[in-house]
Structure 1
Amino acid sequence: MTWQAAQARYDHMEYRRCGRSGLKLPVISLGLWHNFGGDTPHERKRDIARTAFDLGITHFDLANNYGPPPGSAEEAFGDLMRTDFAPYRDEMIISSKAGYGMWAGPYGEWGSRKYLIASCDQSLKRMGLDYVDIFYSHRFDPETPLEETMMALDHIVRSGRALYVGISSYNSKRTREAAAILKELGTPCLIHQPSYSMINRWVEEDGLLDTLEDLGIGSIAFTPLAQGMLTSKYLKGIPEGSRATQGKSLKSEFLTEETLNAIRALNAMAEQRGQTLAQMALAWVLRKGRLTTALIGASRAEQVRDCAAVVKNMDFTEAELQEIDATTVEGKVNLWAASSEREGPSR
């Protein structure tokens, strides 16, 4: 029997305008960075994606190198598009990116026109799509002229490969430069995707949120749950099978006793608010409407349900915000700091 999406899927999700564009995004978006590669059963991926869409999560975020192996998340999502989501394509926002290492040789990463356009074509083929809704420069390239990278994004839109373009992990200075180039080209920057959470606040120190507001650019925070640290998963230590034990991006040394104590205190606050820790962490990122959407990952459908329920309570008192500021510690979990530095990463 052919799957049909829930009829009430738009009844409870909140949608925010993306900067000063005409596009609205759900306040919770689904990222396929982890748990959509070849090491995850396909039926689990299907369950996660269906659940998200049924809850009004219309935005699915990918990149060329998501897996493992690289490319496998897009291939899996392409299968789901054919078997489940084809009738709903016009209700979906699908994004992909290029910037990190994808294939061997000098043309398989960073920000050249050669790499970005070739990678976009490969992503479309893997997903079986005519276009993506958003295509990103995944990281700033210090050795390629920024004009070349932005001109490639402009070409990707003008050639019909994408409807909008964005950037990820660019600092405030580079964001202003990139946005100015794109504006002159006639393809405005729609959205910026930085890492941001209660224990990773570089965007506040850098002034990026003010820059995005000033320029009218939307925002999507990735790792708002600090790769699972801001959930109930690690309250009693590091469980077997968690991301911290898999040798991926979340290293066990991030989970210091100081950080764990802060997480436990935050969890107590969330309980007082009648929320899970994950819900409070997402509500905090989305507070006061400064960000457009928060990007979650999930290994099970019930995690998607938990995160989507944040819409029931996204308000904080000033006292709560002050207590969170007093409780949180910088977790040193920004693995993308080099991509956000003034001159970018060295090679």
Structure 2
Amino acid sequence: MDFRISEEHLAVVDSIEKFARKEMLPLAQVLDEKGEFSMPLWRKMGELGYTGLLAGEKYGGSNLGALGTTMALEAAGRAGADQGTLLSWAAHMVISMLNIEHWGNDEQKQKYLPKMASGEWIGAMALTEPNAGSDASSVTTSARLQGNKYILNGTKMFITNGPICDVVVVIARSEAGSKGASGTTAFIVDKTMPGWHSSKKLDKMGLRASPTGELVFDNCEVPVENVLGEVGMGMKGVAFSGVNWERTILAGHFLGGMEFNINECIKYAKGRVQFGRPIASFQTMQHKIVDMAADIEALKLLLYRQAWMIDNNMPCIKETALTKSIMGAMMLRNADEAIQIFGGYGLCKEYPVERFYRDWKLATIGGGTAEVNRDIAARFLFK
């Protein structure tokens, strides 16, 4: 395996880390407290080309690939950027924009990708429903063909970027009476189409700067030309094809956050004096730091390997499932040890380690729970 990327792409990663340290880190605490997504910050990112890292160059993107984009998000996280903002950024690129590039026809790509790559339009994907979470194939949002339009009705829940998106990839049941993954179709729904809205923004424990909400489709009219991919292949084609990308690239900023956390802990331990000497001199503290570092290095190798496999068109469902099954626990260990090292100060909101503790529970749930991913991995191991 070769984890090297081009000098040009490395320059992009380096510029993102510098940008994040200068522009994103100072906003992290206030965005979390207010639960706000910063549109001015997003516009700056768009102007610098960061919102289109995965898109092809012909659409205004950087064509950074899975490994380069994972490294870019890691760099932003390592610089201390708010994890919520990074989640929204990654979701825009991976589960919305990339699906359109992979499955869209030429007209769809020309219509949507330039606006998404520039950041003018923000993307989302709507799969999960109030009663279709881990059992994602049980979606009931309907798509009924009427003339040259599909009429969508139903509700989607826990949609990252839902309250702020301009375009959303929607998975709906297009074959009445069908069950499971069969009979579902993907649609590109944009803000010019009547009949859909974000009903409410959810007030979350963590990742508060990433707007998450419920999307309601009430006789939403979608032209037939906005079918994404093949009719009947919404789950089996569009949704399932992006799983490896999602479980790799969206973990990049989590990895970066773990690196930021350990650096904060080392700095704090060197400066915090108890019993007449820095707590960094105590073996107990050193072991905590070492354990955090071991998790970071392990997760980095797992994610880089997956990204390399994706870029080389190698199947990696087993690998991404195995990583996703343990990643959340590694992150929570990192956050827990960080708070323990900071002691009472670690419980205070003025220190970033408190925020990570709240942010990272999502990793055991979103994008497939740790339990479901163990089931997926087991199928490969026992077949």
Q: Name the TM-score class by shorter chain.
A: 0.3 to 0.5
Look at both structures and tell me which one has the larger radius of gyration over its CA atoms.
2
Structure with bigger helix share is 2
Q: State the TM-score, normalized to the length of structure 1.
A: 0.32
Q: State the TM-score, normalized to the length of structure 2.
A: 0.30
